[in-house]
Structure 1
Amino acid sequence: MYETHFGLQEAPFALTPNTRYFLRAPSHHDALELLLVALRQREGFIKITGEVGTGKTLLCRLLLNELEQEAYTAYIPNPHLTPDTLYEAVAEELGVDVTRCANTHQVLKALNERLIALAMEQRPVVLVIDEAQAMPEATIEALRLLTNLETESVRLLQVVLFGQPELDTLLRRESLRQLRQRITFAHRLAPLDRASVSHYLRHRLAQAGYNGGDLFAPAALRLMTRCSGGIPRLINILAHKSLLAAWGRGERQVGRRHVAMAARDTESARQPGLMARWL
């Protein structure tokens, strides 16, 4: 579409999570470092929360890539499961043949044996759950019971929860206080500030093959920050539409007018006052 016009090799602002485009902005860098340090210290529960579009799934995938050589990982992307289904899903992720198990007791027994075998291989096991705010309360309690599996000297399963702020609300329930007390480390992903938004745009453009001057004018960057609230997913949407607007007019740089047009066309974007003035 506009790639050739701007000297790009590929679309730089696709919404599909791609670890190659991960930017180590301060909050996201801190989250990744916390995860790696805590997991290497064999902590039990770790929680990462953030608003919709702040990059939790991308961070989750990056974590799985980082752990590939040092741990055995299980990944549950959609945890809206019953307790029994959760046990089966974790067992399958760890290579357990659940078709041989007649009931939940047998699934848990086989899962425990598998965890012990991995512990004997000196391989920590990390369960990563994305969109954890969608877990039913009964399933969260089942998850807590699952982490009771341990030997005298080592914890057999570590858990990382990624979720929206609703996860914090869910875990504040009195009935879930036992799990809440087990969360030893937690981090809240923050939106990008103006400097980070500028860095984010330049980083993604460079990854897509751009090697020219500033493609987004300073005024465009300021409005982009304001309209997106520093949320990476919204930045991607607005940047893509802004490039389309500039390309459609045959212009080589994205200006404030193009960002305003993109924001007006995006329901989830913040609409700055007097936007019509920019048009």
Structure 2
Amino acid sequence: MYLDYFSLNKEPFSLTPDTRFFLDSGPFKNALETLMVAVDNGEGFIKITGEVGTGKTLLCRKFLNSVSGDIVTSYIPNPNISPKILLLALAKELGVKSAVGVNEYSLHQLITAKLITYYNANKKVILCIDEAQAMPDETLESLRLLTNMETERSKLIQVVLFGQPELDEKLALRHLRQLRQRVSFSFKLERLNKDVMINYITHRLVMAGFSSSELFHQSALNLLYRYSRGIPRLINILVHKALILCYGKGQRQISKAIMKQAIADTEDAYIEKKQRHYYQRVIPGGLALAGAMAIGYRMLS
């Protein structure tokens, strides 16, 4: 809707994890470097945790795109599956043939044979699991047993777990302590501080082709940081809505008033119920009103 208006060649604040917009600084850079060091180390499990919306999936995809050619990667985005389905998914990712219709023992044998083939070809194998907090306990245990496969010198497969803080709670359970002890590297993705948030926004705008003057009034940035709480997904949602409002009103800068409207239309941007009540009372229409304004402005222009 607003791309041509702001001279953008692509949407800068889409919720789709596009690695072209990966910010190679702040917590994202530190997390990626931790992953790279851990892979070089070649031992045990690697764990990346962070609150909802902090960029774990984008980091995972960036990592998968960044590893060298001597590393074979596999990716499971939805691990809320049984142990056998996990093995089938891994077998498919590794290119194992004749895996369908066999029992778990045979699956282990087929996967082991494939991993040994890669090892003999001097290739490391990395399994990345997103949303790992959703993995059933028995599937986590099956995963631990899978990593028992090793030579005298190294593991045949490394596992990277990406998950919400609930993953830490799950691994703290006594019956999962063996897996917990296998975690050799871990990193927690923190929320962005204000300076990193501004770099994050600027980077995305530049990558989308934006080259005009200051897009945000300082007061709008202050509100954005306060109500996004430094969470990248919320930042994306609020800036996207603010751009729609700017377009609808025919303005070129996101003002404090425009950011307030974007906040009023975004339920998760409220910090407390009192603030939610205030915004709904003071700015009752949200983007429903903004949509009408956008249509009206285009009809008049």
Give runs of ≥4 in structure 1 deviating > 4 Å: 271-279
Q: Distance in 2 between matches of 1:74 and 1:101?
A: 21
Q: Higher Cα Rg: structure 1 or 2?
A: 2
Q: Distance in 1 between matches of 2:163 and 2:194?
A: 25
Compute the displacement of 1:24 (Å). 2.4
In structure 1, what is the equivalent of residue 291 of structure 2? none
**Gaps spanning 5+ residues in structure 1: where?**
none
AA paired with 1:237? I
Q: Distance in 2 between matches of 1:240 and 1:57?
A: 20
In structure 2, what is the equivalent of residue 60 of structure 1? 60
In structure 1, what is the equivalent of residue 36 of structure 2? 36
In structure 2, what is the equivalent of residue 4 of structure 1? 4
Q: Distance in 1 between matches of 2:135 and 2:102?
A: 25
Aligned length: 279
- Please provide the CA RMSD for this pair: 1.6
1:217-264 per-residue CA deviation (whole Å, 9 max, x = no partner) reads 111111100110000000000000001111111101011111110010
Tell me the TM-score normalised to structure 2 length: 0.89
Compute the displacement of 1:271 (Å). 5.0
Compute the displacement of 1:270 (Å). 2.3
Q: Distance in 1 between matches of 2:214 and 2:107?
A: 57
Compute the displacement of 1:152 (Å). 1.1
1:186-236 per-residue CA deviation (whole Å, 9 max, x = no partner) reads 111011111111111111111110011111111111110011000000000
Instruction: State the identity %.
Output: 48
Compute the displacement of 1:69 (Å). 1.8
Residues 51 and 165, structure 1, Cα contact 8 Å, conserved in 2: yes
AA paired with 2:198? S
Q: Distance in 2 between matches of 1:98 and 1:225?
A: 52
1:159-191 per-residue CA deviation (whole Å, 9 max, x = no partner) reads 000000110111110000000001011111011
In structure 1, what is the equivalent of residue 162 of structure 2? 162
Quickly say closer, same or farther: Cα 1:32–1:92, change in 2 above 3 A.
same
AA paired with 1:261? Q
AA paired with 1:267? E
Matches within 5 A, 1:135-214: 135-214=135-214
Tell me the TM-score normalised to structure 1 length: 0.96
In structure 1, what is the equivalent of residue 81 of structure 2? 81
In structure 2, what is the equivalent of residue 128 of structure 1? 128
SS of equivalent residue, structure 1 residue 79: coil
SS of equivalent residue, structure 1 residue 4: coil
Residues 12 and 205, structure 2, Cα contact 8 Å, conserved in 1: yes
